[in-house]
């Protein structure tokens, strides 16, 4: 574990979670052991977390000292076995940020590398048109979403209650460190977890298209999280090269 990593806290001003689905075998090869795809109704779940953060700071520091930024994470729902029990979370393949300082400090202040990118948005109380532009266009994203009445009838989650429970169980996020020799886990603790359903009108994701070339995938569901306080703490790691897991200290 990187001993320089310190607990952080902040405020979620806006968080959109988009869930997609595909056959488990299409993504399993991208995961380091002991992580494996979490399966819902025979499908592996992956997607995006598009989040606007405010007042991000070291825990205990005054709110005025915090920073604001937009972040985007490409992630897949995963599970692993710990002490004989199956645990769930997410594995983050890529993470982009709008703040240069956050990109520089990633892996030093928080686990996992972040890349600097350009974020654009057109927002109203009920609609969001979001764009991410990466330096070489390797992970560009275009997303259009609006408030809806509920989860679509073909969603693997069946109901808003099922979807919310699934998302709440994904509070532990694994990502590769800056050196690429370890996978580190962070627990994301929310003051409250309340979401509203969204309908995705458009999703173009260059990274998904590249990783899933010639493999079918579909948008399953999406939600908007209500603003809330948030805290992050590192909870475990394992070596990538040896594929030997250390037991995460789950918060």
pLDDT in tens, the chain (251 residues): 344 467 899 999 999 999 999 999 998 888 888 899 999 999 999 999 999 999 999 999 999 999 999 999 999 999 998 888 999 999 998 999 999 988 887 776 666 788 999 999 999 999 999 999 999 999 999 999 999 999 988 999 999 999 999 999 999 999 987 777 788 889 999 999 999 999 999 999 999 998 887 788 999 999 999 999 999 988 888 776 443 333 444 43
Residue 30: predicted pLDDT? 86
- What does DSSP assign to residue 110? B
Strands 217-225 and 195-205: antiparallel
**Nearest one of 104, 238, 83 to 175, comparing CA atoms:** 238
Architecture of the domain made up of 8-245: Beta Barrel (2.40)
How far apart, in whole angstroms, are the C-alpha atoms of residue 79 and residue 84?
Answer: 12
Answer for the pair 223, 167: CB distance below 8 angstroms, yes or no: yes
Domain residue spans of the chain = 8-245
3 state SS of 234? strand
Q: What is the dihedral of CA 147, 148, 149, 153, to 10 degrees?
A: -150
Q: Which residues contact 211 (CB under 8 A, 6 or more apart)?
A: 27, 30, 93
Residue 229: predicted pLDDT? 97
3 state SS of 99? coil
Q: Which residues contact 2 (CB under 8 A, 6 or more apart)?
A: 107, 108, 111, 177, 184, 234
- H-helix or E-strand containing 206? helix 206-211
How far apart, in whole angstroms, are the C-alpha atoms of residue 188 and residue 110?
Answer: 12
Residue 3: predicted pLDDT? 41
**Nearest one of 114, 53, 89 to 185, comparing CA atoms:** 89
Residue 246: predicted pLDDT? 39
pTM, rounded to two decimals? 0.90
Burial class (CB in 10 A: 0-12, 13-18, 19+), 3: exposed
Residue 206: predicted pLDDT? 94
The two tokens of residue 125 are 């109380």
How far apart, in whole angstroms, are the C-alpha atoms of residue 162 and residue 192?
Answer: 17
């Amino acid at each position: 574990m990187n001993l320089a990593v310190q607990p952080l806290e902040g405020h979620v001003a806006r968080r959109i979670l988009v869930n997609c689905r595909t056959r488990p075998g299409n993504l399993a090869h991208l995961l380091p052991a002991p992580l494996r795809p979490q399966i819902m109704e025979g499908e592996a779940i992956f997607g995006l977390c598009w989040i606007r953060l405010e007042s991000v700071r070291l825990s205990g520091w005054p709110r005025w000292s915090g920073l604001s930024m937009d972040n985007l994470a490409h992630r897949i729902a995963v599970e692993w076995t710990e002490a004989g029990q199956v645990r769930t979370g997410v594995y983050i393949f890529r993470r982009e940020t709008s703040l240069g300082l956050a990109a520089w400090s990633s892996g030093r202040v928080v686990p996992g590398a972040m890349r600097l990118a350009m974020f654009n948005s057109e927002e109203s109380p009920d609609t969001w048109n979001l764009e991410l532009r990466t330096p070489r266009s390797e992970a560009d994203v275009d997303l259009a979403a609006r408030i809806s009445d509920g989860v679509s009838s073909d969603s693997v989650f069946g109901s808003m209650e099922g979807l919310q429970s699934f998302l709440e169980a994904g509070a532990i996020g694994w990502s590769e460190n800056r050196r690429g020799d370890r996978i580190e886990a962070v627990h994301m603790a929310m003051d409250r977890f309340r979401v509203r359903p969204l309908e995705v009108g458009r999703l173009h994701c260059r990274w998904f298209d590249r990783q899933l070339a010639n493999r079918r995938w579909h948008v399953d569901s999406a939600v908007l999280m209500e603003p809330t306080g948030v805290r992050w703490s590192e909870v475990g790691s394992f070596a990538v090269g040896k594929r030997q897991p250390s037991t995460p200290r789950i918060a």
